[in-house]
Amino acid sequence: MEANTLDVQDFCDRKRHIQKLKSEIRSPLVHPVPSILTEENDGRWSVGLRRLLRPEQQDRFIELKELCRRHGLYNSKEDDDMQEAILLNFLRARKFDVTSTFDQFNLAVTELKKLRIHEFYENMDLNSYEETRNMYPQWTGRRDYDGLPVYVLPLSHLTKDRIENYFSTLESCSITKKYSQPGVSAARLHFHAFYQNLINFVTPLCSELPRRSMEIPVTASTYIIDISGVSLKQFWGIRRYLQILSMLSTTYYPETLGRVFIIGMPSFFKSVWSAVSKWFDPVTRSKFHILSVSEDTSTLISFMDPSSLPIAYGGTLNWRYHDKPILDLQARNLINTLYPQNVEGNETPIEGPVVFQGGFLKCLGTKDGTLRRNISRPMRVRPNEEEKDCTACS
């Protein structure tokens, strides 16, 4: 009875939150998109998602959900919009072919259950989590004009030696060993942990923040891949690592790639792109934008506000790779407890795995052998601070 009451309260809270955000979005859009949010859907994402589908696509979506339910793969409640959006990602990736979508979704769900990925993410060592964070694209804490989180990866950071040292470090972690299984590398477990952070923290948080289409949840990201300073020898040494990551991400987390901007292109890159592009299907390849030095900044700021773009790429955001996310005002208002103050009064961003669910921020993981289970419902800041402009929607 209590759980049902909380569900109703969360839904009502989100409805009021979305209505408030709709009234806050005042700035003109750089790329206007017609809104499909109407009073009849009450801000429910599931209704917005379905209105984007043609009738035959809706029928296939319903067919897929029922097929997954019968096989115990999809047990979400009818109003669990984020899970519905994730399932739709699989269907879109398979061009609405129900049979092949079911096979891929079954494969993904089976692996996550077999490897106990959700449990691993909640219990993983904070230090090994940070090691993993430093081997993947990192969220700046900002969003583009569509509300998609912006991730950055300077490819020069990845070297063959650094990757090998990273693999060795993971293999020695006691908690990772606990979840390891024959034939499954520690790096594979940590790959899933990276995406668990994306789908359980970053995109749910961004889905609650003001953006063009509040009726559609955020399930994808924007990536800036900086390949300046990378030699052909270095790229050749890490190509296998990059290829495996791309294969795993498209298999287990399809359609989470919104768009990719490749900047700082060295002279050799055009010659290798023909080979690299074969790692992706045609639809995914169309999401890559290879920018010349003369057009990178102008292109990037056409997709995101300068305050959301790091200084290194022509914006005003004082963020560098390895830094913790610097949330914009709207995000900080929503989860201000992510930045507690230390005894000196300075902010110390929380490290390790976190989850944002049902309005609660959950700080998880294991620190010095002790499980961390800090769960809070963040308080909102003063109303006059919430009224400042929204850069993600300007």
Quick: pLDDT tens for 233-247.
Answer: 999 999 999 999 999
Report pLDDT for 147. 94
Q: Does residue 332 sit within a domain?
A: yes
Choose between 48 and 208: higher pLDDT: 208
pLDDT band at 25 (very low <50, low <70, confident <90, very high): very low
pLDDT value at 137 more than 90: yes
Q: Does residue 378 sit within a domain?
A: yes
Q: Encode 290-316 in three state secondary structure.
A: ECCCCCHHHHHHHHCCHHHCEHHHCCC
Q: Does residue 16 sit within a domain?
A: yes
Q: Does residue 63 sit within a domain?
A: no
HSE-up (13 A, CA, CB side) for residue 134:
18
Helices (H), 94-173: 98-114, 117-123, 126-133, 160-171
Q: Does residue 84 sit within a domain?
A: no
Choose between 150 and 16: higher pLDDT: 150
The answer to whether the CB of 180 falls within 8 A of the CB of 120 is no
Q: Does residue 228 sit within a domain?
A: yes
Average pLDDT, rounded, for the chain: 82
pLDDT value at 22 more than 90: no
Q: Does residue 301 sit within a domain?
A: yes
HSE-up (13 A, CA, CB side) for residue 121:
23
- The one-letter code for the residue type at 71 is H
Choose between 21 and 135: higher pLDDT: 135
The answer to whether the CB of 177 falls within 8 A of the CB of 189 is no
Closest CA to 27 of 211, 172, 293: 211
Q: Does residue 109 sit within a domain?
A: no
pLDDT value at 138 more than 90: yes
Count the domains in the chain.
Answer: 1
Q: Which of 45-59, 182-196, 308-322 has the weakest average pLDDT? A: 45-59
- CATH number, domain containing residue 151: 3.40.525.10
pLDDT value at 249 more than 50: yes
Note down the domain range covering 182: 2-25+35-43+115-393
Report pLDDT for 157. 95
HSE-up (13 A, CA, CB side) for residue 330:
24
DSSP 60: H
> How large is the average pLDDT for residues 126-137?
94
> How large is the average pLDDT for residues 279-296?
88
pLDDT value at 59 more than 60: yes
> How large is the average pLDDT for residues 144-166?
95
pLDDT value at 45 more than 90: no
Report pLDDT for 338. 75
